[in-house]
Amino acid sequence: MTGLDYGIVISFLTLMALGGFWISRLIKDSDDFFVAGRELTPFILAATITATNVSMFHFVGMGGTAYSSGVSIIWQNWTGCMALILSGCFVLPFMRRLRIRSVPEFLELRYNRGLRTLVGAFWGIRLCFYLGLLLNLAGTTAIIITGWDNYAAWLLIFSLIAIIYSVVGGAWAVAIMDSWQFLLMIAGALIVLPIAMHLCGGLPKLIEFFKTSDPQHVQLVPQSGDKSWIFIFSILLLSIKWSMIDQAILQRAFGAKSPRVGAKGMILSALITMPLAFFWVLPGLAVAKLHPGKFPTDNDAIPWLLRTQLPLVAKGLLGFVLAGLVAAQISPITSDVNSVATLFTSDVYRTLKRREPTQRELLFVVRITSLLSGLLMLFVAWFLQYGKTGAVNVNLMIVGLLDMPLFVITVIYGLGWKRVNWQGALAGFIGGGLVGLAGYAIWPVGFARNCAPIVSGFGALVIAPIASLMTQHRERVAEAEAIRAAMNPSGADAEGDDFHFVPQSPIGKLGLLFIAIGFLAFLIGVLSAHWGQAIAAPFAVGGMLATFLGGIIRVYSV
Amino acid sequence: MDWMTLAIEITGIAIICVWIVIPVHEFRGIMARVRHKPNLADPAGGFEVKPAEPIDPSNPSGERH
């Protein structure tokens, strides 16, 4: 790293801070801070959702996995895009129509206030822990790329600007600055790909090289191996869960101007993320050819490419790409800090208070919680330097045990079956987690961790209805009617939006048909890889593209 | 540059161009809408002031039952 490189990164960070302060003048009430005043438009929404989704993990982690296991890691991203289409068509618009700010708020509407407070507090703490992990990855990667071995300084560089403009500018600053960070992130990726491809003789030659030396490295849907069809199927389930209940993603989409705009934002985000996945997977593949010897960890592959090759091309290039990586990391941090603050303020503080707080009080509390969650993130990241593996495993364990039960009670029973009551939801949430935990007592840890989402989700699916049928059902008529009206309004809703769960026009129904056929073709393709069928990759990719086409038709028709 | 890399690069550049032009246009629209929104968190910025309700002689304390 030269002085010019450091200068570029510092200039970028200064611009981000100034931009955040300038945007803070848009904050005039708590809804501005939580959901950007529900004024976001489709393209800004798509940019902020993409920037929230894409972090340094994609460039470094996915590139590193492509280096070691091959191109099929790209499905981690592509299944996420398909899940965004499903959420954009079938879940998000109706939650947005209810004018909620968080997923726990939906739980209060559907079940009761206690469940909202419980889930809000749990989720807030979990996100702080996850933020610490994100920050730790950013710090350790920056050390490898730059050679400047000062962990504390990198933590401060990545977090201080993010914390400052999250505290001052809230969701407005997150949304607008995410849009610019999204552009810088792509610009950095646009530089790295051609350099990597040039070094290994071009993409066609790279594919030919692996077809003769290690065919599985370039198989999109492998029959066996670490990232086989089973991985693709599992990651699809987790992606669906993520796109439908993840607070950071949904909170951005709740900021949409209307339900249909929210749906458009999610579909556009899926469309742009799909081709972008090539930018972080292909350089990893190139490193596998350029550096056949093993790195200490897979995460070292992309930093090695950047550190050794970019300075040879032009001065300042490494600084520009590093600024793109910093941008990629700051946007999920700011989004998650904003989400944690929303959860603690809206779902914990507000529900525990006897009287409704004033706007001024809410804004004060949400800013304080933004600051505290940022400090907690720094605290977690600092201690992760002494024992990261254990912390990562604990995080994976908690995600595996409790996220799928939450998805089951929120989306499957929350929207799908009104007989499930709050006792059933609570029993499903906790019981599902305990069933998953039992797996750790029976199976080896690695296997139990991989199966935990399926086992805990299945546990919640069974326990919630049983507990509901065993307890008294007191129908919440007004709330049930509000949810029903949100999914199928008679004509346009109060905001003049006419997005329905089932499309009203023949074109809209055609879009739905494309989604159904595409998704089915994708599943056939992935599952056929079990028998080593040649149709696996064409069906999986074709199905994904048909799902995208159906999504576009659906959200742009009545 | 080979044709595959070129195609991916052109797609990336197209995304950047579209996502500069359209969001800037959308942001101007947002600014025009939110500029005159009252600042509810700052009393000096203009709380909405409701007119005082007339006192009910049968319930002068205004308690609700």
What is the distance between the alpha carbons of residues A297 and A283, in angstroms, rounded to a whole number?
Answer: 16
pLDDT of A293: 79
Diameter of chain B by CA atoms? 88
Give the mean pLDDT of A482-499: 81
What is the average pLDDT across A527-544? 92
A356: which DSSP letter? P
Top-confidence residue, A524 or B64: A524
Residue A121: both structure tokens together: 């507090």
Instruction: Decide: A340 and A131 in contact? Cβ < 8 Å.
Output: yes
- In angstroms, rounded to a whole number, what is the distance separating the alpha carbons of residues B18 and B16? 6
DSSP A440-476: HHHS-HHHHHHHHHHHHHHHHHHHHHHHHHHS-----
Q: Does the pLDDT value for residue B44 go beyond 50?
A: no
Total length of chain B: 65
Nearest to A28 among B9, B23, B40 (CB): B40
pLDDT bucket at B48, cuts 50 / 70 / 90: very low
pTM (two decimals): 0.89
Q: How confident is the model at residue A59 (pLDDT cuts 50, 70, 90)?
A: confident
Length of chain A: 558
What percentage of chain A carries pLDDT values higher than 90?
Answer: 46
Question: Please, which residues bridge with residue A40 across strands?
Answer: A256
Which chain B residue has the Cα nearest residue A47? B19
Q: Number of A to B CB contacts under 8 A, please give it.
A: 93
Residue-averaged pLDDT of chain B: 72
A156-165, A477-486, B50-59: least confidently modelled range: B50-59
Quote the pLDDT of residue B64.
46
Residue of A nearest to B39 (CA): A28
- Binning pLDDT at 50, 70 and 90, where does residue A520 land? very high
Measured distance CA(A288)–CA(A251) in Å, rounded: 38
B2, closest residue in chain A (CA to CA): A202
Q: Which of A525, A518, A536 is nearest to A82 (CA)?
A: A518
Among residues A491, A221, A154, A182, which one has the least CA distance to residue A327? Answer: A182
User: What would the mean pLDDT of B31-57 be, rounded to a whole number?
Assistant: 58
Nearest residue of chain A to residue B29 (CA atoms): A41
Which tokens hold the place of B21? 């032009």
Instruction: Tell me the pLDDT tens digit for each residue of A108-148.
Output: 999 989 999 999 998 888 888 888 888 888 888 888 888 88
pLDDT in tens, A274-331: 999 999 899 999 999 998 878 888 888 999 999 898 888 888 888 888 888 888 888 8
Mean pLDDT of A237-245: 91
pLDDT at B45 over 70: no
Instruction: State residue B62's pLDDT score.
Output: 45
**For testing the chain B interface, which of A22, A43, A264, A271 should be mutated: the one with the most B CBs within 10 Å?**
A43
Q: Is A548 on the interface with B (CB under 8 A)?
A: no
ipTM: 0.86
Of B1, B16, B22, Cβ closest to residue A43: B22
How far, CA to CA in Å, does A302 sit from each of A134, A247, A328?
17, 30, 15
At residue A34, φ and ψ (nearest 5 deg) are -80, -50
pLDDT tens digit sequence for A251-274: 999 999 999 999 999 999 999 999
Closest CA to A138 of A165, A164, A156, A161: A156
B27 neighbourhood in chain A, CB within 8 Å: 44, 176
Match 């790209």 to its residue by tokens. Answer: A74
CB contact under 8 A, B5 and A202: yes
Is the sign of the CA dihedral A280, A283, A289, A295 positive or negative? negative
CA distance linking residue A236 with residue A78, whole number of Å? 9
- Contact list in B for residue A28 (CB cut-off 8 A) is 34, 37-42, 45
Mean pLDDT, chain A, integer:
89
Mean pLDDT along residues A526-532: 90
Cα–Cα–Cα angle for A503, A509, A515, rounded to 5 degrees: 105
